[in-house]
């Protein structure tokens, strides 16, 4: 995949990038408090997760076990109450909000169950949004958006609004939007939850193609058909990791280490 933001990296940077995991969480806790300060829910406790470059893993567990909470922390959409988080070697736990959102925009792609496309914008404009935040000018944005829409087989829908598309097409567009910044990892929270099984399988196939191209992917799912095809399954129960099982070795990443742009 093309790298949108190319920085001149020191030769040592490539070996540095190869040495650190894509994400390393240690001792993560997330506690929700009531307005009076009393504890409402301990959603995550003592969670350690290390994801290596090129992995394809599933996060599973019963409803309420903390999957979305963990995914939102991994995706820097939410902060833990306690614990350490290194994203691509960068300490993001102590970062101010502005720096965190800049890092998130460069390094993370996120796909939601409900697609979350902007209804007023065309597909092409939707895909351009992350690039707009990175300060990329219109011609570059348009070219990148078109290339991504071609990759997800939606080139004939550039000018359509999300409401004019099927659920599967909307999710493919959402995946294009998540990838347009060439993130180091793609997170997906129940990406097939709103789709029929055939359309869900198409999305699964797309993930597998992306993974074969070297993308690191973590997906929250209730669907055993997805998790069986991953390399690793983390199962949560009551906010804790119950099991962390490796089904097969991680496919060697074809993505060059250190090709992640500005760090």
Ligand X SMILES: Nc1ncnc2c1ncn2[C@@H]1O[C@H](COP(=O)(O)OP(=O)(O)OP(=O)(O)O)[C@@H](O)[C@H]1O
User: Which residues make beta-bridge pairs with 109?
Assistant: 186
Please count the other Cβ atoms lying within 10 Å of the Cβ belonging to residue 222.
15
Instruction: Give the residue with the Cβ less far from ligand X, 65 or 181.
Output: 65
Region 120-149 residues binding ligand X, contact defined as CB under 6 A = none
Nearer to ligand X, 64 or 140 (CB): 64
Q: Say which entry of ligand X, Mg ion, none residue 151 contacts (CB below 5 to 8 A, set by partner kind).
A: none
Name the minimum Å distance from CB 26 to ligand X.
19
- Interacting residue with ligand X among 54, 61, 75, 183 (CB under 6 A): 61
Give the x-and-dash track for 3-42 against ligand X (CB under 6 A): -----------------------------x-------xx-
69 binds, among ligand X, Mg ion, none (CB under 5 to 8 A by kind): ligand X
DSSP, collapsed to helix, strand or coil, labels residue 186 as strand
Helix (H) or strand (E) holding 50: strand 39-51
What token pair was written down for 81? 């109450």
Which of 54, 66, 109, 183 is the binder for ligand X (CB under 6 A)?
A: 66
**Could you say whether residue 255 binds ligand X (CB under 6 A)?**
no
Q: Residue 43 binds which entry of Mg ion, ligand X, none, with Cβ cut-offs from 5 to 8 Å by kind? A: ligand X
Determine the size of the site formed for ligand X (CB under 6 A).
12
What are the CA-CA distances from residue 61 to residues 40, 66, 69, 250 (Å)? 21, 8, 12, 22
Q: Which does 6 bind (CB under 5 to 8 A by kind): Mg ion, ligand X, none?
A: none
CB of 195 to ligand X, least distance (A): 16
In whole angstroms, how close is the CB of 228 to Mg ion at the nearest point?
20
Which span (57-65, 117-125, 141-149, 204-212) binds ligand X, by CB under 6 A?
A: 57-65
| Alpha carbons 104 and 84: distance in angstroms, whole number | 16
Query: Helices in the chain by DSSP H: which ranges?
Result: 11-19, 67-74, 97-107, 123-133, 138-151, 167-179, 197-212, 224-227
Using CB under 5 A, count the residues that bind Mg ion.
1
Verify binding: residue 114, ligand X, rule CB under 6 A: no
What secondary structure does DSSP assign to 239-255, as a single string? TEEEEEEE-SPPPPP-S
Strand, helix or coil for residue 67: helix
CB of 182 closer than 8 Å to CB of 109:
no
Q: Which part of the chain contacts ligand X (CB under 6 A), choosing from 47-55, 59-67, 83-91, 252-260?
A: 59-67
- What does the alpha-carbon distance between residue 180 and residue 148 come to, in Å, rounded to a whole number? 6
Neighbours of 151 (CB within 10 A): 19
Using CA atoms, how far apart are residues 135 and 121, in angstroms rounded to an integer?
Answer: 18
* Contacts (CB under 5 A) with Mg ion, residues 64-83: 68
Are 233 and 60 in contact by the 8 Å Cβ rule? The answer is yes
- Residue 137 token pair: 């000018």
User: Residue 80 or 261: which CB sits closer to ligand X?
Assistant: 80
Rule CB under 5 A: which residues touch Mg ion? 68
Rule CB under 6 A: which residues touch ligand X? 32, 40-41, 43, 61, 63-69
């Amino acid at each position: 995949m093309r790298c949108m933001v190319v920085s001149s990296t020191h030769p040592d940077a490539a070996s540095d990038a190869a040495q650190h995991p894509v994400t390393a969480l240690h001792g993560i806790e997330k506690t929700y408090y009531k307005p009076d300060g009393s504890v409402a829910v301990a959603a995550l406790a003592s969670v350690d997760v290390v994801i290596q470059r090129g992995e394809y893993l599933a996060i599973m567990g019963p409803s309420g076990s903390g999957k979305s909470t963990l995914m939102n922390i991994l995706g820097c959409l939410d902060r833990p109450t306690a614990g350490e988080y290194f994203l691509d070697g960068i300490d993001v736990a102590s970062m101010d909000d502005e720096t965190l959102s800049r890092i998130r925009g460069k390094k993370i792609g996120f796909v939601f169950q409900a697609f979350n496309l902007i209804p007023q914008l065309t597909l092409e404009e939707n895909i351009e949004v992350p690039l707009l935040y990175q300060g990329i000018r219109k011609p570059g944005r348009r070219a990148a958006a078109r290339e991504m829409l071609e990759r997800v087989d939606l080139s004939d829908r550039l000018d359509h609004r999300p409401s004019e598309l099927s659920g599967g097409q909307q999710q493919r567009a959402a995946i294009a939007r998540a990838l347009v910044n060439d993130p180091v990892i793609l997170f997906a929270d129940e990406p097939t939850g709103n789709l029929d099984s055939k359309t869900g399988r198409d999305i699964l196939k797309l993930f597998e193609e992306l993974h074969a191209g070297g993308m690191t992917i973590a997906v929250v799912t209730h669907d055993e058909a997805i998790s069986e095809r991953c390399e690793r399954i983390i199962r949560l129960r009551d906010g804790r990791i119950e099991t962390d099982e490796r089904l097969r070795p991680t496919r060697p990443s074809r993505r060059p280490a250190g090709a992640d742009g500005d760090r």
